[in-house]
Structure 1
Amino acid sequence: MPLTLIIGNKNYSSWSMRAALVLELTEEPYTEVRIPLYQQTSRARLLSHSPTGKVPVLLTEEGPVWDSLAIAEYLAETCGDRHLWPRGEYARAVARSLCAEMHSGFAALRSHLPMDLRRRPRPLALPLPATVQEDIGRICALWADCRQRFGADGPFLFGHAGIADAFYAPVAARLRSYAVSLPEPAAAYVETIYRWPAFQRWYQAALQETETIE
């Protein structure tokens, strides 16, 4: 049984994007099933695949794996030769720390700057709250520190594209969609994400969607 990834709207579902980008890194064949969110049939359709009724969920021969971080860890274990986590014990620990912080933090940024890939880049009408500015500052510091310490072999956070980049790609998209002013290192990393072929494939597909979620 080939892998099947259940996702939501590509324009809006940041967690779906994370899982899909990690799966792309494995270069394993898989089937993608897109279920538009917040429609009358969405919940029932999701529950037919996912025990939580949420996306993403990865269907494997042994059963479903849900939650983007669990999916990433599963793929890292089953596709170990792809080095989805960086080489070196400490680098891997830092990469996992970044993903865990992304997974559980930055609530203000998520709330005020929801992912909307089709949005024409422009600032919000009102100034960003201090809590959002704090989240952005923390993210920019994380990116700069990782690229300086671990990114000598390439433009990604740990040199080559990996799980950490998949987890922060939706943040890069948010920062561009809302035309957030960034220091040069962070702006360069956003550009790296937009030049990533796997991200571009997702982005171009998102631009073709027609559903709108308020």
Structure 2
Amino acid sequence: MTTVLPPTLVIGNKNYSSWSLRPWLLLRHHGVAFDEVRLPLDTPEFYATIGNYSPTGRVPVLREGELVVWDSLAILEYSNERWLDGKGWPADLAARALARAVSAEMHSGFAELRKQCPMDCVKRSTAPVSAEVMRDIARIGVLWRDCRARQGTGGPFLFGAFSIADCMFAPVALRIVSYGIEVGPVERDYIDALLALPALQAWLGDAEAEQRARRESR
């Protein structure tokens, strides 16, 4: 009998690696079994080890047997087809097209938010953010409100039920919390729905443990 081994997802620090969170959240939320390899970013351990897993030298990367899939969105798409029978995207054709569009915009956009407000799950700041960041936040708010108004029936997420689009925006929600950015009631309710996910709570618990271990090792 052939033993089927679970895939391996290689990720960075849970406190900092926003791209790692995205596929991890989808797999964990849907109960897909996988082995996790966590490499601390920007450390000698990372640079000595990452070449064993990733052709790009970056995380995340998914390995299943001889197959290697890098880039968060590619991993999400593969996982959706491989284990979720398409449930990672909305069933409706128009909703699915919109979900892919907003996910792609997140994948390629919002440079100022990423640069000036890097993900730091345990951080809590009340310092004002720049006008450039707030322009990104304003566009994200338009996206979230539009998705909720047009496709958000049947659940608290962008397209009602939890989807890949929510995985793409989960790190944004965490940034909004970490940097104390003011958003409207629709956006706040959406952030609360994401934070209530057991999978995201598990990630945040691990991020807090990471930071605690770092402090204790100093």
Q: Under a length normalisation based on structure 2, what TM-score does the superposition of the two structures give?
A: 0.92
Gaps of 5+ in 2: none
The whole-number CA distance in structure 1 between the counterparts of 2:130 and 2:208 is: 28
Residue 191 of structure 2 corresponds to 190
SS of residue in 1 equivalent to 2:35: strand
> Structure 1 residues 82, 205: closer, same or farther in 2, change over 3 A?
farther
Give 1:82 deviation, angstroms: 5.5
Distance 2:154 2:136 in 1: 27
Aligned length: 209
* TM-score (normalizing by structure 1): 0.94
Kindly report which structure 2 residues correspond to 1:138-177, keeping only aligned pairs within 5 A, or say none: 138-177=139-178
Structure 1 unaligned spans of 5+: none
Q: Residue deviations 1:15-70, cap 9 Å, x none?
A: 00001012124322111110001111212211110111100001112411100000
Match of 2:22 in 1: 18
After TM superposition, the structure 1 = structure 2 runs for residues 1-214 of structure 1, keeping only pairs within 5 Å, are: 1-81=5-85, 83-119=87-123, 121-124=124-127, 127-210=128-211, 211=214
Query: Does the residue aligned with 1:59 lie in a helix, a strand or coil?
Result: strand
User: Structure 1: which 4+ aligned runs deviate by more than 3 Å?
Assistant: none
> What SS does the aligned partner of 2:44 have?
coil
3-state SS of paired residue (2:122):
coil
Please tell me whether the aligned partners of residues 39 and 45 of structure 2 are also in contact (alpha carbons under 8 angstroms).
no
- Counterparts of 1:101 and 1:19, CA distance in 2: 17
Cα distance per residue 1:123-174 (max 9 Å; x no partner): 22xx322211110000011111111111110000111111110110000000
Whole-angstrom CA distance in 2 between matches of 1:104 and 1:138: 14
Provide the aligned C-alpha RMSD in A: 1.3
The residue identity in structure 2 corresponding to 1:91 is A
User: Once the two structures are aligned, what percentage of the paired residues are identical?
Assistant: 47
Code of the residue aligned with 2:106 in structure 1: it is: M
